[in-house]
Amino acid sequence: MDFKKLDELATQVKAMRLLNTTELKRLRDEFMIENTHDSTAIEGNTLTLRETAMVLQEGITIAEKPLRDHLEAIGHKDAFLYIIELADKNTPLSEWVIKNIHSLVLMNDAQNKGVYRSVPVTISGALHTPPQPYLVPVQMESLIADYADMKRGRHIIEAIAEFHLRFEGVHPFIDGNGRTGRLILNLELIKAGLLPVNIKFADRRKYYASFDAYYGEAHTADALTELIAAYEVAELEKRIAILS
């Protein structure tokens, strides 16, 4: 896969002027709202983009919308701000980090937040059945160890895509795996000097198809790699337009 355009754009962004604190916060807040809406919508949240903005920016409760939907949005916002802190410190990815992200994502579930699942699960319509709960700690430890190898001799987008596919395959938590996984994906992009990407609700079929490609006969991460790369190129081009 050719990452030449992506790498050239990333280099161009790094060579341009730095955003000041106010500008950076404005762009991050705008991204965070859109990302929170799309990531939670993929999992069934019913808040619209405008409603999500009202909940996160103004603390408004939307009439006739479930409390759960409000808490999911707030939890995702808190988790996004947390990954920004982690990225600023270049914190290595670990099970501790993953559990902390999940604790914020699943803020409305005191019993299960940040805790690996203790029951078997199935993913509706998926080609892959997640491992039995007693295997989750072992497979998560292996995944973290393997991630270091994934990053050697490969483009970071390829490593991040494969990590995400495997993480969702382990499905370590009873709930919130998708939101947590996509936040981890963005944490690793930011640490690599790239911009966070927003996997849009409108593109959810492409996103789901990438799991079928990985866990099906083809067993390839190319579909998700291409999807992430296309999003990254779009984000970099948008940033260049702003900085220009």
Q: Decide: 84 and 73 in contact? Cβ < 8 Å.
A: no
- What's the CATH number where 79 sits? 1.10.3290.10
Residue 127: its pLDDT value, please?
A: 80
First CA to last CA across the chain, in angstroms?
29
Q: What is the distance between the alpha carbons of residues 194 and 211, in angstroms, rounded to a whole number? A: 23
How far is Cα 223 from Cα 157, in angstroms, rounded to an integer? Answer: 12
The reported pLDDT for the residue numbered 2 is 86
Residue partners of 209: CB distance under 8 A and separation at least 6: 223
Catalytic pick from 37, 70, 164, 171? 171
**Annotation says 171 is catalytic:** yes
Measured in degrees and rounded to the nearest 5, phi and psi for residue 86 equal -60, -45
Among the listed residues 59, 143, 129, 128, the one whose alpha carbon sits nearest the alpha carbon of residue 97? 143
Report which of 190, 189, 193, 170 is spatially closest to residue 227, judged by C-alpha positions: 189
Domain of residue 178 covers 4-243
DSSP assignment letter at 202 = G
Spell out the per-residue pLDDT of the chain, length 244, in tens: 789 999 999 999 999 988 899 999 999 999 999 999 999 999 999 999 999 999 999 999 999 999 999 999 999 999 999 999 999 999 999 999 999 999 999 999 999 999 999 999 988 877 889 999 999 999 999 999 999 999 998 999 999 999 999 999 999 999 999 999 999 999 999 999 999 999 999 999 999 999 999 999 989 999 999 999 999 999 999 999 999 8
Q: What is the dihedral of CA 170, 173, 174, 177, to 10 degrees?
A: -80
One-letter amino acid identity for 238?
K
The CA distance from 201 to 15, in Å, is 32
CA 23 from chain center: how many Å?
23
Q: How many domains does the chain have?
A: 1
**Whole-number pLDDT of residue 37:** 98
Q: Which two tokens stand for residue 153?
A: 């001799």
Which two tokens mark 15? 């060579």
Question: What is the spatial distance between Cα 221 and Cα 207, in angstroms, rounded to a whole number?
Answer: 11
